[in-house]
């Protein structure tokens, strides 16, 4: 069951991770860009932030799941560290860019708050995880990375929930306002449950 779950996560992360390529191959009115004004689409800073967010966010999603491989950590620690460095840099770029474009989110203040909060959580957990590993607190590093990738995985869960809710509600904008929170809050809750379970297992081993 655990192996099957990781295969599903790996496949979904890889597919959505390479998804930004589409924005470079077809018309700019594709996807959410179709809901943006011409004025915003012509804004230089917004464009840099948008493409920085999707390219580096896609890269973080594409490689992040590899960091949870115990075999990679045990047998190829240098590869694990290098992937970790790329992940952190990608998160920092994508996260900061994400905060900026969140201010212009389709759907108004509900979506702005939802995506901005997600960006803060993603950046904060990643930075704290990096600090933890630098001071040798490996367990805290691992736990914070679970939260970081749960936030990153919102890119996947958003694309699962959005078409479902849009079809159910018959209105994109209402569905998008819900997805601005539904795409990541359950992920963080699941991350908390995983970390809590790990702590209980570790505690039972030492008692």
Is the full-model pTM beyond 0.95?
no
Average pLDDT score over residue span 91-106: 97
Residue predicted with more confidence, 3 or 151? 151
Full domain range(s) for residue 174: 2-205
**What percentage of the chain has pLDDT greater than the value 70?**
94
| pLDDT 10s digits, 118-136 | 999 999 999 999 999 999 9
User: Tokens 């993603």 identify what position?
Assistant: 122
- CA-based angle 34:37:42, to the nearest 5? 105
Torsion angle, CA of 199/78/55/151, rounded to 10 degrees?
A: 0
DSSP 96-156: HHHHHHHTT-TTTHHHHHHHHHHHHHHHHHHHHHHHHHHTT-HHHHHHHHHHHHHHHTHHH
What is the per-residue pLDDT across 68-77, written as a single tens digit (0 to 9) for each? Answer: 888 888 889 9
Q: Which residues contact 23 (CB under 8 A, 6 or more apart)?
A: 30, 31, 33, 51, 54
Residue range 3-26: average pLDDT? 83
Domain count, the chain: 1
Does the pLDDT of residue 172 top 70, yes or no? Answer: yes
């Amino acid at each position: 069951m655990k192996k099957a779950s990781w295969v599903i996560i790996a496949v979904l992360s890889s597919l959505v991770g390479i998804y930004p390529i589409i924005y470079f191959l077809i018309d700019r009115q594709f996807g959410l860009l179709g809901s943006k004004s011409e004025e915003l689409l012509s804004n230089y800073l917004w464009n840099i932030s948008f493409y920085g967010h999707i390219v580096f966010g896609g890269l973080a999603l594409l490689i992040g799941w590899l960091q949870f491989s115990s075999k990679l950590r045990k047998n190829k620690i240098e590869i694990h560290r290098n992937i970790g460095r790329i992940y952190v840099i990608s998160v920092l770029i994508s996260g900061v860019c994400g905060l900026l474009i969140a201010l212009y989110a389709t759907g108004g203040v509900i979506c702005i708050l939802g995506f901005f909060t997600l960006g803060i959580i993603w950046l904060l957990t990643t930075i704290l995880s990096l600090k933890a590993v630098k001071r040798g607190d490996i367990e805290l590093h691992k736990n914070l990375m679970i939260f970081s990738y749960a936030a990153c995985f919102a890119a996947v869960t958003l694309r699962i929930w959005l078409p479902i809710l849009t079809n159910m509600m018959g209105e994109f904008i209402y569905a998008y306002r819900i997805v601005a929170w539904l795409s990541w809050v359950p992920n963080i809750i699941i991350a908390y449950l995983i970390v809590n379970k790990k702590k209980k297992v570790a505690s039972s081993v030492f008692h």
